[in-house]
Amino acid sequence: MTSVIATVATALGVPDWFVRERRAGELVLETDAEALPVLADRAALGLNARLMSLFASDERNTSGCFLVHHVWSIGNLRTFLHIAAPVDPAQPTYASIAAKHPAANWFEREVMDFFGLAPGGHPNPARVALHDDWPDHAWALRKDFPDDRTVPRVSGDFHPFRPVTGEGVFQVPVGPVHAGIIEPGHFRFGVAGEPVLYLQLRLFYVHKGTEKRFERLPWRHGLFLAESISGDTSVGHALAYAHAIERLADVTVPPRAARLRVVLLELERIYNHIADIGAVATDVAFTVPASRAQALREGLVRLQDELFGTRLLRGTIALGGVTQDLLPRGCDRLRAHLHRFEQEFDDLITLLLDAGTFTDRIDGTGILTNQAARDLGVVGMAARASGVDADFRRDHPHDAYEDLRFEVPVEDGGDVRARLMIRAREVRQSLLILHQVLDALPDTPLLTSLPEQLPARSSALGWVEAWRGPCTHWVSTDERGELARVKVTDPSFLNWPGLVHATPGNIIPDFPVINKSFNLSYSGNDR
């Protein structure tokens, strides 16, 4: 780690002793707020770092200031860099990095919405999470904002959407209420005939205040809230929170539990990917493969119910391990199902790709270029479909992934086909991972004990490469060792701007399939 610290410090242009290792794989640098842009430039250019999260915390009761936090992933060094800077409550502003690093755009505006800290020099300092009827100066994540406060709504102007200009140019509003059971989101297309000129997006209609809710929960109960953040990522978010708590408590889960966590995470990846492949087929009216995909997904989630007592794997992750074992009979049952699944899945992909009417709809549709993906900070499956070679399972190994053999699929097309092929190739890698784990499950306990209290005034980062992309949870404690701040970053928050960028140049009838090829979570984004 000494060499890693030296490499990071040299790239950032600071003495080695400025950078310290808080925990394994997590470096910390404390700086002044005005230095944030320079350090961001040096991290991105000198270390090929990618911004994973940006948030604030209210430390006025302890240090008399707010803190702004930047969390960067440095995959080639297998470490995170956490840069923290104080902000004076009397002058609640700090230097923005969004002009050069667009991935920070929504993050900084969210900090402004919930903490009242203005990002100086931000190219678009408008609200992002708060809607028009939320009053000014009601900053919900400050410590002096009661979590049970009823906020009186105010009247005001509607969200300032881009106006229609030009002859024959029209706006087509879609949502926020949609047909089906998805949560609300508003899409506003600017079109000239059928081609889309631009897309504007408005989300956060059902913001749940999850991060505020964590602050009034005992830390052991936080796991149940974490796995409810996004219904299709129960394992991913539960694991990210569990990793943060376990790192705070300085405990290591038993080897059997670490491997069973891999099983659960890869099953979650498979059933979501197969559902999305079927949904893409549905959106181009290719009903036979859509039905086959749904049947494959249903068979898998029924088996999960049989093996773990839950269809969508809720309640399987515990702090310190897992709640459910996989006995020899269950291993045999899962192995047999995966062998059948593999052949049927290959047949499904062949059926899709051999159909010219299907590939005509997905080839060259909804292209997100490699440069755009990097600039916008797009992560996970969508980033890999645009040629970004990044995956926390390899770059920041967690649970048992460091001992497993697998490849990180990368596609260069950046279109709907590329995102579909990433899903297909990741399913095959997940099957390879599962067979390795099932063939070598060590005979150890499922849980390790955690202390009665977490360390006071401490913090830790937890991370997971979930099926959609990386989930990160930063957890800090107060003077009693209870939760003081939990920052949740869902991959959808980073990826929604990518969808906005990939849509122009296509036609409105292709938007459903472009949208589904990203399949972003309203709930995970809104939190």
The DSSP H or E segment spanning 82 is strand 79-87
Contact present, 344 and 292 (Cβ < 8 Å): yes
How far is 518 from 351, CA to CA, in rounded Å? 22
In this prediction, residue 181 carries a pLDDT of: 78
Q: What percent of the chain has pLDDT over 90?
A: 91
**pLDDT per residue as tens digits for the range 277-307:** 999 999 999 999 999 999 999 999 999 999 9
Taking alpha carbons only, the member of 292, 272, 270, 187 closest to residue 231 is 272
Give residue-wise pLDDT tens across range 394-434.
999 999 999 999 999 999 999 999 999 999 999 999 999 99
Tell me what pLDDT residue 357 has.
93
The architecture CATH gives domain 210-319+328-526? Orthogonal Bundle (1.10)
- Asked whether the predicted pLDDT for residue 140 surpasses 90, the reply is yes
Task: List, for residues 472-518, the tens digit of each pLDDT value.
Answer: 999 999 999 999 999 999 999 999 999 999 999 999 999 999 999 99
Which class is 2-120 in CATH? alpha beta
> Where do you find CATH 1.10.645.10 in the chain?
210-319+328-526
* pLDDT (0 to 100) of residue 477: 97
For residue 43, pLDDT over 90 is answered with yes
Does position 179 have pLDDT exceeding 90, yes or no? no
Please state, rounded to an integer, the average pLDDT across all residues of the chain. Answer: 95
Residues of each domain in the chain carrying CATH 3.30.460.80:
2-120
pLDDT in tens, 441-461: 999 999 999 999 999 999 999
On the CB side of 310, CA atoms within 13 Å amount to 16
Instruction: With beta carbons less than 8 A apart as the criterion, state whether 352 and 281 touch.
Output: yes
Tell me what pLDDT residue 199 has: 94
